[in-house]
Structure 1
Amino acid sequence: MRVTQSMLNNNMLRNISNSYSNMDQYMDQLSSGKKINRPSDDPVVAMKGVSYRSALTKVEQFERNISEVHNWMDNSDETMDEANQALQRTRELIIQASNDTYEDNQRNNIGEEVEQLKEHLYDLANTKVNNKYIFNGTNTTEKRFNDDGTLKVDPPNNEAVMIEVSDGVKLQANVNPDNVFSKDMFDKLDEITQALEDPNTTGEDLDNYLSDIDGFSQGLINERADLGARMNRVEMVENRLGQQKVSTTKLLSDNEDADIEEVIMNLKMQESVHRASLAAGSRIIQPTLMDFLR
C-alpha cells in the first residue's frame, strides 16, 4: 500500500485529537472528582451509580421515618409519665381524705385538687405534637376529648399508627390510648370528686377507690413497658440503617469517585505523550514549494 503525505498528516491529526480528548477526560475527572461525568463515559458505572443512589435514598427516607417514630414515642412516654404522677397524687389525696377526722371543707379542698388533676389528665389526653393528636389512634387531626370531658367520637379511635422503618418492617409509633386515658378513668375521677364533696362519705368509702386508681395506674405502667420494648427495637433498626448508609455510601464512592493521585499521574503522562506527538508531527509535515515562495 502506498503511503502518502496526506495519510501521514491525517493520522497525525487524528492522534493529536485523541490526545486532546484524553487530556480533557482527565481534566474533567480532576475538576469533578468523579470517574464519569456522563453515562456514555462508562454505562456500567452509571447503572451501578443509579442503583446505589436509589438504595441510599431509601435508607435516608427510613431514617426520616425513624425520626418521626422517635418523636411519637418520646412524647408519648413523657406524657404517660406525667399522667402517672397525676394518678399517684390522686391516690395520695384519697388516702389523706379517708381520715375521718377531716372536716367537710377540708375534703372539699381535696376534691377541688382532684378536679384539677382530672382536668390536667384531659389536657394530657389531648396532647398535640407537630399538629397531630398522639392519643387518638389514627385520627390524628382531632383531639380525643371535648372541653367538657366527653369523647369527641364515640367509640374512640384506638387503632395503631404503623410507620415503615425498613424494607417490609413497620412499627407501631403510638400507644393504645384506651389503656392510658380511658373514659372509665375520667368517670371514676368524677365519682371521687363527688364523693369528696358529699358529707356522708366515710373514709372506708374513699378507700374503696384506691383499687380503681391502682388499676388505672397499672394499665398505664403496662403500656409504658410495651412502649419501652418498641423503643429498644427502634434503636436497633436505627443502628442497622446507619450501617447500611455507611456501606452504601462507600459502594457509591468506590464506584464513582476518581482516584485523584492516579488521575494526576495519568494527566502528566498524557501531557508528555501529547508533547511528543506534537514534536513528531512537526517532522512529519514536510516542507513544500510554498514554503520557499516569497
Structure 2
Amino acid sequence: MRITNNMMIANMTRNLGNNLTRLNNYQNQLDTGKKIQVPSDDPVVAARALKLRTDVSKVEQYQKNLGDAGSWLDATDVTLGKIGDVLQKARELSEQAANGTNTPEETQKIGLELKQLRAQLIHLSNSTYAGRYIFSGYKTDQKLINDNESDPNFGKFMINVDSTREKIFYEIGVGDSININIAGGDLFNSGGNASNPGSGVATSDIDDINYPLDITAANNSITVTINNFGTPQTVTAAIPVSNPPAVEYNTPVQLAQAIKTAINAAIVPDPDPTLPANQGIEVTIGNNMIEIKTQIKSDTAAVTFDQTGSLLSSIGTKAPVTTTGDIGDTPDMIKMFDNIIADMDEGNFKQISDFLDVFDQQISNVLRCRADVGARQNRVDLSTDRMSIDLVNFTDLMSKNEDVDVAETIMNLKNEENVYQASLAGGARIIQQTLVDFLR
C-alpha cells in the first residue's frame, strides 16, 4: 500500500488530538479531584457514586433527626424532674399537715403553699421544646391543660390526647424509629388519656359513704337536669334498692354504674328529629368524687343535681359543684391536689394522711415515665455513635469510588505531557522538505 503525505498528516493530527484529549482528562481530574466528569466517562463508577451519595445524605439526615430527638427527650427529662420535685415537696407538706398537732391556721397555710405547687405543676404541663408543647401528643401547637389562673377551668384538660395513638416517632435509621414524646394523659392522668369532652359536668364528694351501701326505697331516687343544646330535661331515676331485690353496692364503681344505668333509662329522646340525638350521661368515680356529665359536646351543655330528697343528699355527700360549657376533665394529678387542699382547709387530718399513698402512686407514675424517657435517651446516644461510624465508612467508600489518587494522577499527567511533546516533535519531522526543495 502506498503511504502518501496526506495519510501521514491525517494520522499525525488524529494521534496528536488523542494525546491532547488524554492530557486534558488527567488535567481535569487533577483540577476537580474526581475520577469522572460525566457518567459516560465510567458508568459503573457513576452508578456507585449516586448510591453512595444517597447513603451519605441519609446518614446526615438521621444525625439531624437524632439531634432533634435527643433535645426533645432532654427537655422532657428536665420537665419530668421538675414535676417530680413538685410532687415530692407537696408530699412532704402533706405529711407535715397530717400531724394532728397543727392548728387549723397552720394547716391552712400549708394548703396555700400546696396551691402554689399546684399552679406550678399546671404550668409545667405546658412546657415546650422549640415552640412545641411536649405533652400535647400530635397537637404540639395547643396547650394540654388550661393554665390561665383567672379562668374557672384552670387545671382542666384543654384538648383530647390519646396516650396510645398520639406518639411522635422520629426515623433514626433504616427501618428504625423512636418515640420521642410522653402523652399528657399518661403522665398527668395515671396512664390514661387527656380528655376534653366539652360536656357539662356535676361532681359531688362521696367520702362519707360507708360500704357496703344499703339503699332503701325511701332514698333511692336521683334527680338530674341535663341541658343539651339549650334544651333542658329533668330526669328522676330510681336506683335499685339493696334488699329486695338482692342488690349490693360494695364499691363506688358499682354505685356509679347503677346511677348511670338508671338515669340513661329514664332519659326521653327529643321528639324533634332536627336536633342531635341525646347521648345520655356518663358517671365516673375518681378520688372519692362522683362525676356526672353529658356525652354531648355543646357550649350550653350542663348537668345539675336536685339534692332535695335525692339519693346523694340521703347518703351524706357534700354539695355538688356544677359547671357549664366546653370544658375538659381534671387530670388525676390535679384532682389529688384539689382534694387534699380542700381537706386542709377543713382540717381533716385523717383524709390528709390517706392521701400520702396517692402521692406515692403519682410519684411512682412520674418515675415510670422518666425511666422510659431515660431508656430512650440511651438508645438515641447509641444510635448517634452508630451514625457517626456509618458516616465515616460511607464517606470513605464514596471517596475511594470517586476521588483520584493525586500522586498517580500527577505521574500520569507528566507522562501524557511528555507523550504530547514527543508527538509534536514527531509531527514536525514528517515533512521536512518544502516546495522550494522540489523546484531545485
TM-score band, normalised by the shorter chain?
A: over 0.9
* Counterpart residue number, 1:166: 173
With a CA cutoff of 8 Å and minimum separation of 6, indicate the structure with the bigger relative contact order: 1
For 1:133 and 1:271, the matched residues in 2 are separated by 66
Name the SS for the 1:209 alignment partner. helix
Identity among equivalent positions (%) equals 38
Q: How does 1:34-53 map to 2 (within 5 A)?
A: 34-53=34-53
For 1:128 and 1:144, the matched residues in 2 are separated by 11
* Counterpart residue number, 2:381: 235
For 2:7 and 2:434, the matched residues in 1 are separated by 16
For 1:287 and 1:89, the matched residues in 2 are separated by 109
Q: How does 1:73-88 map to 2 (within 5 A)?
A: 73-88=73-88
Between stretches 97-106 and 23-32, larger displacement belongs to 97-106
Q: Tell me which structure has the larger Cα radius of gyration.
A: 2
- Classify 1:291/1:244 alpha carbon distance in 2 versus 1 (closer, same or farther; 3 Å): farther
For 2:418 and 2:168, the matched residues in 1 are separated by 66
For 2:414 and 2:120, the matched residues in 1 are separated by 75
Spell out, residue by residue over 1:45-66, the C-alpha distance to the aligned partner (whole angstroms, 9 max, x if none).
1111101011111111111111
Spell out, residue by residue over 1:134-183, the C-alpha distance to the aligned partner (whole angstroms, 9 max, x if none).
11122212111112111112x43322112211111121111243232220
Would the aligned equivalents of 1:30 and 1:264 in 2 still touch at CA under 8 Å?
yes
For 1:37 and 1:143, the matched residues in 2 are separated by 54
Q: CA RMSD in A?
A: 1.6
Match of 1:150 among 137, 153, 156: 156
* Counterpart residue number, 1:272: 418
Name the SS for the 1:165 alignment partner. strand
Spell out, residue by residue over 1:60-79, the C-alpha distance to the aligned partner (whole angstroms, 9 max, x if none).
11111111211221111111
* Counterpart residue number, 2:214: none
For 1:285 and 1:23, the matched residues in 2 are separated by 25
Name the structure where helix makes up a greater proportion of residues: 1
Q: Which runs of 5+ in 1 are unaligned?
A: none
Spell out, residue by residue over 1:3-52, the C-alpha distance to the aligned partner (whole angstroms, 9 max, x if none).
10011111111111111111111111111111112222212111111010
1:168 maps to amino acid: G
Spell out, residue by residue over 1:191-232, the C-alpha distance to the aligned partner (whole angstroms, 9 max, x if none).
111222224x22x32111100110000011111112222222
For 1:157 and 1:179, the matched residues in 2 are separated by 9
Match of 2:403 among 251, 254, 257: 257
Match of 1:196 among 309, 322, 344: 344
- Classify 1:181/1:3 alpha carbon distance in 2 versus 1 (closer, same or farther; 3 Å): same
Spell out, residue by residue over 1:243-286, the C-alpha distance to the aligned partner (whole angstroms, 9 max, x if none).
22111111100000010001111111111111111111111023
* Counterpart residue number, 1:62: 62
Q: Which runs of 5+ in 2 are unaligned?
A: 148-153, 190-330
For 2:33 and 2:122, the matched residues in 1 are separated by 59
Would the aligned equivalents of 2:144 and 2:184 in 1 still touch at CA under 8 Å?
no
CA drift of 1:290 comes to 5.4
For 1:291 and 1:211, the matched residues in 2 are separated by 121
- Classify 1:281/1:206 alpha carbon distance in 2 versus 1 (closer, same or farther; 3 Å): same
For 2:38 and 2:78, the matched residues in 1 are separated by 52
* Counterpart residue number, 1:282: 428
Q: What TM-score, normalized by structure 2, do the two folds share?
A: 0.63
Between stretches 228-237 and 15-24, larger displacement belongs to 228-237
Would the aligned equivalents of 1:160 and 1:174 in 2 still touch at CA under 8 Å?
yes
1:140 aligns with 2:123: no
Name the structure where strand makes up a greater proportion of residues: 2
For 1:86 and 1:99, the matched residues in 2 are separated by 21
Match of 1:245 among 391, 400, 406: 391
